[in-house]
């Protein structure tokens, strides 16, 4: 009865220690802190319900997989829903300001990417997963992962290639 695996203190410990990283992962994946919360909650709830099985393997990988798949099913694109108003205050010093602008530009640019491309980039460059693992997670061929990553990187190139004072390319430039 997998549904009865309602965990114990080991789940509590796991959730408490993994939450910050999962929330950050969810934020990068979805672009919204609210949606990150919902996604993490849903994925952890799913994991909790089959905790005995999940905990025997790699629980972080499992939760991440649930998050990605849930997200990909849920949202086709979310670019239009990014709330610019939620960008935190810019840092006072110049380097901090530039970094903050870069971060914001990246956030907008990611928002313009198709969700699978974005998921590939996040898994590859934030979670540092090998292409083979990403392919298994997304249920596609490693070659597809490579091509998606290449396209994603190409789309981000103008942003990433800019210096410490980045120009802010218009959204159109990234639109497909």
Partner 1 sequence: MPDDAHLENKLRGLLRDPKWSVPPRPDAQARIRQAARRQRVRRARLTGAAAGTVIVACAAIIPATIGLLGRAPGLAGGKWPTASTVYAEFDAKLTGTVVPISAASNRPGKPIHVGGLMAVTPDGKTLYVSSGASTIPISTATNRPGKPIHVAGYLTIAPTGKIAYAAGVGGAVGSVGGKITPVNLATNRPGKPVRVCSIIGMIAFTPDGKTAYVSCPSTGPSTVIPINTATNRPGKPIHVGPGGREIAFTPDGKTAYVLGVHTVTPVNTATNTPGKPIRLGANPTALIAVNPDGKTAYVGTIGTVIPISTTTNTPGKPIHIGAGVPAEEMAFTPDGKTAYVANEEGPTGRVVPISTATSTVGKPILIGVGAVIAITPDGKTLYAAGQNKVVPISTATNRPGKPIRLPYGFPGGILATP
Residue 88 touching partner 1 (CB under 8 A): yes
Site pattern 54..73 for partner 1 (x: CB under 8 A): ----------------x--x
d(CA 40, CA 43) in angstroms, rounded, equals 5
Taking contact as CB under 8 A, which single stretch among the options 11-19, 130-138, 140-148, 168-176 is the one that binds partner 1?
11-19
Three-state DSSP class for 50? Answer: strand
37 to 56, contacts with partner 1 by CB under 8 A? 37-39, 41-42, 44-46, 48-49
Using CB under 8 A, list all residues that contact partner 1.
1-4, 6, 12, 15-16, 19-20, 23-24, 26-28, 33-39, 41-42, 44-46, 48-49, 70, 73-75, 81, 83, 85-86, 88, 99-100, 102-103, 106, 121-122, 125-126, 128, 153, 156-157, 160-161
């Amino acid at each position: 009865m997998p549904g009865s695996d309602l965990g114990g203190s080991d789940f509590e410990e796991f959730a408490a220690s993994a939450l910050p990283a999962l929330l950050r992962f969810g934020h990068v994946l979805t672009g919204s802190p609210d949606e990150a919360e919902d996604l993490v909650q849903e994925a952890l709830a799913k994991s909790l319900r089959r905790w005995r099985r999940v905990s025997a393997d790699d629980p972080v990988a499992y939760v991440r997989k649930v998050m990605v798949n849930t997200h990909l099913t849920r949202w086709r694109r979310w670019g239009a829903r990014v709330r610019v108003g939620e960008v935190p205050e810019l840092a006072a010093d110049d380097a901090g300001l530039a970094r903050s602008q870069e971060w914001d530009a990246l956030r907008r640019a990611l928002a313009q990417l198709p969700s699978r491309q974005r998921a590939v980039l996040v898994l590859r460059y934030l979670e540092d997963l090998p292409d083979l693992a990403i392919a298994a997670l997304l249920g596609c061929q490693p070659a597809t992962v490579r091509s998606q990553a290449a396209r994603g990187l190409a789309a981000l190139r103008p942003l990433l290639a800019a210096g410490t004072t980045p120009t802010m390319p218009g959204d159109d430039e990234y639109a497909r």
